[in-house]
Amino acid sequence: MMWADKLGKQLGHPTRSVLGWLVSKFFKKHNRILEENAVQLCGILPGDTVLELGHGPGLGLQSALKLLTEPTGRLIGVDYSQYMHKMASELMKDQVASGKVTLYHCDVAAMPLPDSSVDKVFHCNCYYFWPDLKRGATEIHRVMKPGGMMVTTLRLSSIAKLASKRVMPGENWRPETYMAALRDCGFTDIRMEDKQDSLITFQAIYAIASK
């Protein structure tokens, strides 16, 4: 297997291995700003039910948890990497034990969540790896409450570079492809904005789950 394929596979689905461990270190060092901004931008209220897709090591989960200060506030995370699921479960073990946080080892396209049960959704560096954007978007739309907000953050310049080196699979990394899938599945008010934080330029994609 070429190095680009190996790296792409680990970025999209880290496994317990040397490369998987290095990739998890990379996420922790470089993606905090994207995770924290996604949490801020989706407008979490203290009693909300919030879902992170593809949480990786769990930095965004930690950040979202700080905002869920009311007893009714709930945090859910899903990731289909067993390695990332275990890493985040260890990080959040007290909150998982108390029932405040629930982490599922599952695919975004098949989540064990009731219809219309989630207020806010966020994800960073995740949708490019979904094999079928429409299946993923349909499932997210199903679990979101009417009018719920979803925010996606990414660094388009870095992703485009990885795509040019064939680390990103196919064309799903393109924001316009992702945004079209959201539109087809019932999301509205879809827009992308350039953002700046600590000298880093990144993009935020917003979408409302209209029902």
Contacting residue, 8, 49, 50, 79, with ligand SAM by CB under 6 A: 79
Q: 129: closest CA among 2, 8, 4, 6?
A: 8
**Burial zone of 11 (CB within 10 Å; 0-12 exposed, 13-18 middle, 19+ buried):** buried
Could you tell me which stretch among 43-51, 63-71, 73-81, 168-176 binds ligand SAM (CB under 6 A)?
A: 73-81
Q: 122: closest CA among 60, 45, 72?
A: 60
Q: Which tokens is 174 given?
A: 């393109």
Contacting residue, 130, 178, 187, 206, with ligand SAM by CB under 6 A: 130
Number of residues that bind ligand SAM (CB under 6 A): 23
Q: Give me the least distance between CB of 129 and ligand SAM, in Å please.
A: 4
**Sheet hosting strand 118-124, strand order edge to edge:** 101-104, 74-78, 49-53, 118-124, 144-154, 200-209, 187-197
Which residue, 5 or 70, has its beta carbon nearer to ligand SAM?
Answer: 5
Contact predicate 168/158, CB 8 Å: no
Q: Should residue 178 be labelled a site residue for ligand SAM when binding is judged by CB under 6 A?
A: no
Site string for ligand SAM, 11-50 (x = CB under 6 A): xxxx------------x---x--xx---------------
Q: Should residue 135 be labelled a site residue for ligand SAM when binding is judged by CB under 6 A?
A: no
Q: How far is Cα 91 from Cα 118, in angstroms, rounded to an integer?
A: 23
Q: Should residue 80 be labelled a site residue for ligand SAM when binding is judged by CB under 6 A?
A: yes
Contacts with ligand SAM by CB under 6 A lie at: 11-14, 27, 31, 34-35, 54-56, 78-81, 84, 107-108, 124-126, 129-130
